[in-house]
Amino acid sequence: MSIATRKVLVSGFEPFAGSHINPSQKVVEALSQLTIEGIELDAVVLPVEFERAPKILLREIENFKPEIVIAFGQAEGRTSITPEKIAINLDNARIADNAGDMRKMQTIDPEGSDGYFTTLPVEKIIEALKNEAIPAELSLSAGTFVCNHLFYVMQKALQGTSTKSGFVHVPLLSEQRSEFPGQPTMTIDELIRGARTVILSAL
C-alpha cells in the first residue's frame, strides 16, 4: 500500500542589516534539495520586509495548500534551535527592514488578538531535536521585527483551517563568526539536520 504524500511548506528570509548570509535562507534552500520519503516539500525565501513577506507567504500557502507551514528565521545570540510558542500584535524594530520601513510601537492588526499561538506541536519538536543531540529549547518571544510580524499574520490567517503552522528561530551559522564575534553559532549541517527533524516531528 502506498504512503500518502504530505505537503509541507518551509520559508526562510534573505539577509538583512548589511549581512551577506541568513541561516534560515541557507536551511530552506538545502531542504528544497533533500528527498524526504512521503513528503512533498515547497520552499520559499522571503524578503525581510514587513509589508511584502507575509503577502508572499500567504500567496504560496494558497497556491500550494500545505498541511504544515514552518517559517524559519535568524536569531543572533541564541544557542539552540528555538520553536516559537506565540506571536504578538506588535511591531517595534530597532532597525529598518530591507525596504527602509522603521516601525516603532505599531500594532500589526487593530482588529486582531493580542497574540496567536503556534499550532505546531512545539514540545514534541523540542523533544525530537534533543533526542538527536541537537540543542533546542522553547521560546516565548519571537521578537518584534519581521519574524514576529510574519508569524502573527500567518497564524491569524490560518485560524480555523486544517493547516498547522508556526515559526522556528535558528542560531547564526559558523560562517558568520567574523561578522558577529562572540555570538554562538551552529554548523549548516547541524541546522539542516535540525530542520529536517522539525519537519518530521511536526508531522
Question: Model-level pTM?
Answer: 0.96
> Quick one: pLDDT at residue 4?
77
> Quick one: pLDDT at residue 159?
97
Instruction: Select which of 49, 84, 149, 190 is catalytic.
Output: 84
Q: To the nearest 10°, the Cα dihedral for 89, 68, 186, 174?
A: -80
> Is 190 noted as a catalytic residue in this protein?
no
Instruction: Select which of 147, 149, 175, 190 is catalytic.
Output: 147
Instruction: Select which of 49, 60, 149, 169 is catalytic.
Output: 169
> Is 20 noted as a catalytic residue in this protein?
no
> Quick one: pLDDT at residue 166?
98
Give the mean pLDDT per block of 10 residues along the chain (203 residues). 80 95 97 93 98 98 98 97 98 97 98 98 98 98 98 98 98 94 96 97 94
Report domain 6-202's class.
Answer: alpha beta
Cβ-based neighbours of 93, under 8 Å, separated by 6 or more? 102, 103, 104, 144, 145, 146
CB of 185 closer than 8 Å to CB of 173: yes
Backbone angles phi, psi at 146, to 5 degrees: -65, -35
Would you list the domain boundaries of the chain?
6-202
> Quick one: pLDDT at residue 1?
37
> Is 147 noted as a catalytic residue in this protein?
yes
